A and B are shown apart, each in its own frame.
Chain A
Amino acid sequence: MLRMASLSEAILEKSLQAIWNSDVASAREVQADDLEIDRIDVEIDEGVLRLLATHAPVADDLREVIAAKMIAVDLERVGDLARNVAKSAVRLSERSGGTPPLLRTLADESQRILRHSLDAFAERDPARAAEVLGEDDQVDEDQDRVILDAINEIRAHPEFASQELDYILIAKNLERVADHATNIAEAVILATQARIVKHADKLAG
Chain B
Amino acid sequence: MQYLTKITARDLNVHYGEKQALFNVNLDIRKNQVTSLIGPSGCGKSTFLRCINRMNDVIPTCRVDGKITLDGVDVYGDDIDVVQLRARIGMVFQKPNPFPKSIYDNVAYGARIHGLAKDPTELDEIVMTSLERAGLLAEVEDRLADPGTGLSGGQQQRLCIARAIAVSPEVILMDEPCSALDPIATAKIEELMGELVENYAIVIVTHSMQQAARVSARTAFFHMGYVVEEGDTARIFTDPTDERTRDYITGRFG
Q: Which residues of A contact B (CB under 8 A)?
A: 56-63, 194
State the Cβ distance, B29 to closest chain A Cβ, in Å. 23
Interface presence of B121 (CB below 8 A):
no
State the Cβ distance, A69 to closest chain B Cβ, in Å. 15
- Proximity bits, B217-245, A CB within 8 Å = 1, else 0: 00000000000000000000111100001
Majority secondary structure of chain A interface residues (helix, strand, loop or mixed): helix
State the Cβ distance, A45 to closest chain B Cβ, in Å. 22
Whole-angstrom CA separation of A61 from B209 in the bound complex:
14
Smallest CB-CB separation from A61: which chain B residue?
Answer: B250
In the complex, besides A58-B249, A194-B239, 10 extra interface pairs with C-beta distance below 8 angstroms are A56-B210, A57-B250, A58-B237, A59-B238, A59-B245, A59-B246, A59-B249, A59-B250, A60-B250, A194-B238
Smallest CB-CB separation from A55: which chain B residue?
Answer: B251
Smallest CB-CB separation from A62: which chain B residue?
Answer: B238
Q: Which of A56, A57, A59 contacts B240 (CB 8 A)?
A: A59
State the Cβ distance, A51 to closest chain B Cβ, in Å. 12
5 contacts between A and B (CB under 8 A): A58-B213, A58-B250, A59-B246, A62-B237, A194-B239
State the Cβ distance, A55 to closest chain B Cβ, in Å. 8
Find chain B residues with CB under 8 A from A63 CB: 238-239
State the Cβ distance, B66 to closest chain A Cβ, in Å. 30
State the Cβ distance, A178 to closest chain B Cβ, in Å. 29
Smallest CB-CB separation from B209: which chain A residue?
Answer: A58
Smallest CB-CB separation from A195: which chain B residue?
Answer: B239
Which residue, of A59, A60, A61, A194, has the highest number of chain B Cβ atoms within 10 A?
Answer: A59
State the Cβ distance, B254 to closest chain A Cβ, in Å. 17
Find chain A residues with CB under 8 A from B237 CB: 58-59, 62
Find chain B residues with CB under 8 A from A60 CB: 246, 250
Question: What are the nearest 10 A-B pairs in CB distance?
Answer: A194-B239, A58-B237, A59-B246, A58-B249, A61-B250, A59-B250, A59-B240, A56-B210, A59-B249, A58-B250
Whole-angstrom CA separation of A194 from B246 in the bound complex:
13
State the Cβ distance, A113 to closest chain B Cβ, in Å. 27
Find chain A residues with CB under 8 A from B238 CB: 58-59, 62-63, 194
State the Cβ distance, B103 to closest chain A Cβ, in Å. 36
State the Cβ distance, A186 to closest chain B Cβ, in Å. 16
Whole-angstrom CA separation of A58 from B246 in the bound complex:
8
Smallest CB-CB separation from A56: which chain B residue?
Answer: B210
Whole-angstrom CA separation of A74 from B39 in the bound complex:
38
Find chain A residues with CB under 8 A from B250 CB: 57-61
State the Cβ distance, A60 to closest chain B Cβ, in Å. 7
Smallest CB-CB separation from B240: which chain A residue?
Answer: A59
Whole-angstrom CA separation of A58 from B245 in the bound complex:
11
Smallest CB-CB separation from B251: which chain A residue?
Answer: A55
State the Cβ distance, A204 to closest chain B Cβ, in Å. 21
Find chain A residues with CB under 8 A from B240 CB: 59
Find chain B residues with CB under 8 A from A59 CB: 237-240, 245-246, 249-250
Find chain B residues with CB under 8 A from A62 CB: 237-238
Find chain A residues with CB under 8 A from B239 CB: 59, 63, 194
Whole-angstrom CA separation of A63 from B239 in the bound complex:
9
Find chain A residues with CB under 8 A from B246 CB: 59-60
Find chain B residues with CB under 8 A from A58 CB: 209, 213, 237-238, 249-250
